[in-house]
Amino acid sequence: MTLPEGLSISEAEFAVDGSDLVLTFPDGSKVTVENYYEQAQPPQLASADGANLSGDMVVQLTGTPDSANTSSIQQFADAASGTQVIGGTDGAPIGTVKTLTGEVWVTRADGTRVQLQAGDQVFQGDSIETGPEGAIGVLLADETTFSMGEASQMVLDEMVYDPATQNGSLNVSVVQGVFTFVSGQVAKTDPDAMKIDTPVATIGIRGTQVGIEIPPAGEGDMQVILMEEADGFVGEVVIENNAGQVVMNQGGDFVSIPSYDSQASQRGIMSDDDIVERHATTLKHLPVEDTDGDRTSGNHFGLQEDIEQGTNQDQGQQDDQPTAEELADTETAAGGNQDETQQPTPELDAQSDEPSAEDLNNLDTQAGGQQGFQEDFTDVTTEVDPFAPDPQDTGLGTGSGTGNTGATDRQDGAGDSGKDDDAGTQEEFIGDGASVIAGDVDGFEDGAISLPLTVNKVDASDTLSVTLTGIPEGSVLSSAAGTIAVTGTTAILTEAQLQGLAITPPENYSGSFNIGVSATTIEGGVISNATTGTISVDVTGVADVPTLTMSVGDEVSGAVPLNITATTPDTDGSETVTVTIGDIPVGATLNLGDGTTFTATDGNTSVTLSPDQLSGLSIVPVGEELFNLSVSATTTEADGDSLTLPTQTLSIDPNNLAEGATLDLGAASGDEDTAIALPITIDKADEGETAEITLSGIPEGATLSNANGPITVNEDGTVVLSEADLDGLQITPPANSDVDFDLGVSVVTKDGDSTSEPTTGTISVGVDGVADVPTLSVDSALSSVEDGGPIALDISSALTDTDGSETLSVTISDIPPGATVTLANGISFTASEDNTSLNLTPSQLQGLTVTPTPNSGDDFQLTVTATSTEANGDTATQTATIDVAVASQADAPTVDVGAASGLEDGGPIALNIDPQAAAEDINGEIVSVTITGVPEGATLSAGTFDTETGAWTVDAADVDGLTVSLPEDFDTDFSLQVSATAQETDPDTGEITTATSDPVALDVSVIAQADAPATVVDAVSGLEDGGAIPLTIDATTAAEDINGEITGFTISDIPVGAILNLPGGFAFTATEGNTSFDLTPAQVEGLSISLPENFDTDFALSVTATASETDPETGEVTTATSDPVALDVSVIAQADAPTVDVDAASGLEDGGPIALNIDPQAAAEDINGEIVS
């Protein structure tokens, strides 16, 4: 839950209103969170400035609506003041208040509010608040200690501790202020057992001392500082919030955290002085003794002496007040003794478990009397600020006092008990009060000032307590009875200590301050209202006696140093100091420290100087006469008071001035890292004087020596030499430096107290650079396998000369041709026959790799040369070698095959396998080829067949000319799988490795071929002119080739005139030039031949059959015709009846014989017949 903009959690006052949470801010604005306490887990509160409070912390700060249950309220006696209070506790006490200053209040877990005193106990759930000038130190059960400064607030959330095992846990919440914690047994047993919740982070303390500062909102960030413990031990602090975690484990570590969502600052280191300045109050109040009086590990940084003295004195001032033992011995009204540990026995209504405030006021004591509970009971829900001024307190001003006196309370019957009119019946237990009369007072610095304070008790029988506040730190408060303890800026006085009351301000203090006065009276354990006033103190400054020291120095260049200092013991800045120098000879000149001069003239021979003008003061005399200066010092207060010391005399003798010397300086040069002679010669004007030679500008790291050995050089690069030191004087420049440099040379001579004016000169030293051998480191033995990828090169080199005058390069040579060196940025270099080296810079050596020549198993050696080059060109080298062992690995060959093809039944088919293509590895060789997928029944021309695997293995030598022979009539395309196996012998080790390529497909195309059919015919016979003769041709037998079919027959050599009779009534008659006829297979059935009339000659028909076949893959059709076969036809001749051809005959009668025209040939047309008669 986030608060409205402009409101900060750290500034809020928390209160409970029923089930609501009410937050009140300094400007009077309020924020109410309705039903906050009705939620099972009240929400976290956050504000825009980054502050953050968990729900648990809020509940601890406010209690809950039912936390005012008074059944848990117990009465206890305050051992320090004897007052009776009501304090709610939550179980057994977990700690004890060991130190306390000012007002410190605690809100118990049941909602009651109690003002704490030293010796009180604290309980789990307590919320502790310190006033504007309050501070407290607490020792917990496990010897954890903590202290709180002014205006601080914290809650003891939880403490669980088992003394037997020293185990437990400790959680506290801090809201605002300054704190110091020293962990005890819980944190030392378990490093995660102690935690501190803050508005911006959670802090885990692991066995150490830590300071925490949480300023008010808008005044800065929370700061956490890790401190050394008393014995110097430093533990660890873990700081966590939404932005992450920070761990501190060094003494003086500190961080700032602005908000719960912001990261902590970078860790800084805080000095002990700064720690003391920021945590002075908490360190003074940090308990450093345990319950047995033994020293704890807490480190108070030397501030405990003050608090110990204050505690002793405070103990003394309480002598007039009843102690716990005295209270125990006090007789009650019934005459008996009351044990201080006993509690009053309230007579409560049996029907009520929760006594009212009126019931509490009417509690009966064991003596039978009534005792009301007054000032120290405050319910947190009433929203009363215990540190706010009384609403009726108008302030005394100067010389007056205000407040409700006890007398007035009795007259009104009410008083100011915080219980309204209910206290009216308790008059004899209400304090009578007092009046305060205070006024202004003046005094002088460093003196006791009587304080005009009169306090009159209304009832002389009451015990008076007067609290003075605002006392300047360092002041001493005293009375007729002696010194009064002041704790911080507060002192508590008894009535007796008011007599002769005086204050001595801090040493050298001047100015004004106000002392607040608060007077209360105590009667019967009840404290009256406070009556307040103010004492105004004005302290007039008094000049302090100054301190004056002076002496005369050795004369330099005619000027005599005047070593004069004047100081005042008052260091608060209110005083000034001056020095007056008189009796200065006319014409003499003072050289002042501010660069100005004063020359004495007639009538003006003195001058007054400030401390700044005294620094480097000197006088230039006139003449050689002895003279005396008068010197005095004066301090002046800001108020005008002054004090002057008596005049002192300073004598100056200008005689016997030294005369000086001349310098002769030669040239100096040499090589780097070698001694270079310094030719220095001096010539004194007076050989009786002593010479001092000063060299300056000597480079850091350079060494000086002479004939007697090394000479020590001052840190500022100077050295003072005697004349004897010049013998063999030489300088060695800083290591590896070739930088030229100039030496300043100054010589003075001394004669007694007189020093001559210096003679100066310069030697220019030239240094010639010499290259230094660089460092070179390599991993000299590397190994890999052939084609195994890049090999990392571990090469490092550096210059031994680091003055910047040298450059470094690295060369890798003897790189095998084909090998590649690759840089980290991906740039690579591949060596060739003509270029086998690579130059690199030192930065390129990181991530360097070498990849051996592809397919090479040859070992090789790289040479690495580091070269340093001086600015002048001089070089120096360092060489190393790297042996690279490469184990040969056979490469899987790449098989090159070509598609093969052949004709069905066309004989062996050549397989195009290139065994050389697989032998590109320069160190490998093909040993065999493996072929699978050979069709069943087919054979290779070489190799062996494995019946189990179906693979043929062919030696590499037999691959060339390899063929495959297919079964008869095989016309199907197929694919062979061909792989090659190579082996390689390592040239260095002789080890043999093998590798087989992935199979490649070799496609074999078989071109289907039709088979010439076998034609089957039977011889036939017939009679001449006997009719058609059937022809017998077997078409089925001719078609036995399973892949082909008979497409036709051809009959030729048919006799001219013969007729082929085809089925269906078709016929073919042979003629001259056309004696052949093609038939389909179907036309062969029932075929016959009719011969010409009277044809009786046997003859043979020529018969061929034609078959066709279609390729199953390509669809190509081929044909084949059988060889012709003779179909013999036998014709049995038959004689034909001849036909006689005659012509009519005529003749003459008796003319003789008449010729008869009878043609006998006509009957002979039958070619095979003849006329016989």
Q: How far apart are CA 203 and CA 195, in angstroms?
A: 6
Q: Do 984 and 1030 fall within a single domain?
A: no
Q: Is 175 exposed, middle or buried (0-12, 13-18, 19+ CB in 10 A)?
A: buried
Q: Do 604 and 629 fall within a single domain?
A: yes
Q: Report the candidate in 262, 259, 247, 309 with the shortest Cα–Cα distance to residue 284.
A: 309
Which residues neighbour 1140 within 8 Å (Cβ) at sequence distance 6 or greater? 1158, 1159, 1160, 1162, 1163
The CATH code of the domain that includes 989 is 2.60.40
Amino acid type, 278: R
- Residue 484 pLDDT exceeds 60: yes
Q: Do 755 and 780 fall within a single domain?
A: no
Q: Which residue among 540, 567, 599 closes a domain? A: 540
Look at residue 262 and tell me if it is in a domain: no
Q: Do 562 and 518 fall within a single domain?
A: no
Cα–Cα distances (Å) from 754 to 172, 656, 721, 850, 878, in that order, read 73, 7, 18, 76, 59
- Residue 428 pLDDT exceeds 90: no
- Average pLDDT of every residue of the chain: 80
Q: Report the candidate in 1014, 904, 906 with the shortest Cα–Cα distance to residue 969.
A: 904
Q: Do 1085 and 964 fall within a single domain?
A: no
Look at residue 234 and tell me if it is in a domain: no
Q: How far apart are CA 742 and CA 908, in angstroms?
A: 100
Look at residue 186 and tell me if it is in a domain: no
Question: Do 661 and 755 touch, CB atoms closer than 8 A?
Answer: no
Query: pLDDT per residue over 497-532, tens digit each?
Result: 999 899 999 988 888 999 999 999 888 778 888 889
Residue 310 confidence (pLDDT)? 42
Roughly what angle, to the nearest 10 degrees, separates helices 272-285 and 304-317?
Answer: 20
Query: pLDDT per residue over 1153-1173, tens digit each?
Result: 988 888 776 545 555 567 777
Q: How far apart are CA 594 and CA 616, in angstroms?
A: 9
| Three-class HEC string of 20-35 | EEEEECCCCCEEEECC
Least confident of 347-356, 554-563, 643-652, 810-819: 347-356
For tokens 């270099």, name the residue.
Answer: 829
Least confident of 80-89, 677-686, 768-777, 1039-1048: 80-89
For residues 953-972, average pLDDT: 90
Q: Do 866 and 975 fall within a single domain?
A: no
Query: pLDDT per residue over 1065-1116, tens digit each?
Result: 889 999 999 999 998 888 888 899 999 988 888 999 999 988 887 777 778 8
The CATH code of the domain that includes 683 is 2.60.40.10
3-state secondary structure of 81: coil
For residues 203-211, average pLDDT: 90
Q: Do 335 and 437 fall within a single domain?
A: no
For residues 1027-1036, average pLDDT: 83
- Residue 85 pLDDT exceeds 50: no
For residues 931-940, average pLDDT: 94
Q: Do 1055 and 1075 fall within a single domain?
A: yes
Encoded tokens for 570 = 């008052």
Which residues neighbour 482 within 8 Å (Cβ) at sequence distance 6 or greater? none
Q: Could you list the beta-strand ranges (E) of 28-78.
A: 30-33, 45-46, 52-53, 73-77
Look at residue 83 and tell me if it is in a domain: yes
Total domains, the chain: 9
Q: How far apart are CA 43 and CA 802, in angstroms?
A: 63
Percent of the chain surpassing pLDDT 70: 83
pLDDT-derived band at 483, boundaries 50, 70, 90? very high
pTM for this structure? 0.33
Least confident of 530-539, 697-706, 914-923: 914-923
Q: How far apart are CA 820 and CA 864, in angstroms?
A: 15
Residue 1039 confidence (pLDDT)? 53
Angle subtended at Cα 465 by Cα 461 and Cα 466, rounded to the nearest 5 degrees: 135
Bridge partners, 768 (sequence order): 671
Look at residue 658 and tell me if it is in a domain: no
Terminal-to-terminal C-alpha distance of the chain: 158
- For the four alpha carbons of 859, 860, 861 and 862, in that order, the dihedral sign comes to negative
Q: Do 369 and 432 fall within a single domain?
A: no
Look at residue 536 and tell me if it is in a domain: yes
For residues 563-584, average pLDDT: 89
Q: How far apart are CA 606 and CA 599, in angstroms?
A: 9
Q: How far apart are CA 163 and CA 579, in angstroms?
A: 69
Q: Report the candidate in 801, 999, 991 with the shortest Cα–Cα distance to residue 893.
A: 999
Q: Which residue among 944, 972, 1007 closes a domain? A: 1007
Q: Do 481 and 432 fall within a single domain?
A: yes
Residue 1145 confidence (pLDDT)? 84
3-state secondary structure of 201: coil
Query: pLDDT per residue over 655-678, tens digit each?
Result: 666 778 999 998 899 998 899 999
Look at residue 601 and tell me if it is in a domain: yes
Query: pLDDT per residue over 843-901, tens digit each?
Result: 999 999 999 998 888 899 999 999 999 888 899 999 999 999 998 877 777 788 888 88
- Residue 321 pLDDT exceeds 70: no
pLDDT-derived band at 306, boundaries 50, 70, 90? very low
Q: Which residue among 869, 887, 905 closes a domain? A: 887
Q: Report the candidate in 884, 632, 868, 649 with the shortest Cα–Cα distance to residue 770.
A: 868
pLDDT-derived band at 422, boundaries 50, 70, 90? very low
- For the four alpha carbons of 845, 851, 853 and 859, in that order, the dihedral sign comes to positive
Q: Report the candidate in 850, 849, 853, 851 with the shortest Cα–Cα distance to residue 833.
A: 853
For residues 394-399, average pLDDT: 33
Query: pLDDT per residue over 146-157, tens digit each?
Result: 999 999 999 998
- Residue 400 pLDDT exceeds 60: no
Q: How far apart are CA 644 and CA 118, in angstroms?
A: 51
Question: Do 977 and 953 touch, CB atoms closer than 8 A?
Answer: no
Query: pLDDT per residue over 104-135, tens digit each?
Result: 999 988 888 899 999 999 999 899 999 999 99
Residue 73 DSSP class: E
pLDDT-derived band at 394, boundaries 50, 70, 90? very low
pLDDT-derived band at 402, boundaries 50, 70, 90? very low
**10 Å Cβ neighbour count for 386?**
16
Residue 984 structural domain:
896-1007
- Residue 972 pLDDT exceeds 90: no
Q: Report the candidate in 632, 745, 661 with the shortest Cα–Cα distance to residue 695.
A: 745
- Residue 359 pLDDT exceeds 60: no
Q: Do 870 and 913 fall within a single domain?
A: no
Q: Report the candidate in 637, 625, 449, 626 with the shortest Cα–Cα distance to residue 537.
A: 449
Q: Do 799 and 867 fall within a single domain?
A: yes
Encoded tokens for 758 = 């210096």
In the sheet with 449-450, reading across from the earlier edge strand, the strands are 449-450, 502-504, 476-479, 482-484
3-state secondary structure of 1092: coil
Look at residue 297 and tell me if it is in a domain: no
- Residue 791 pLDDT exceeds 50: yes
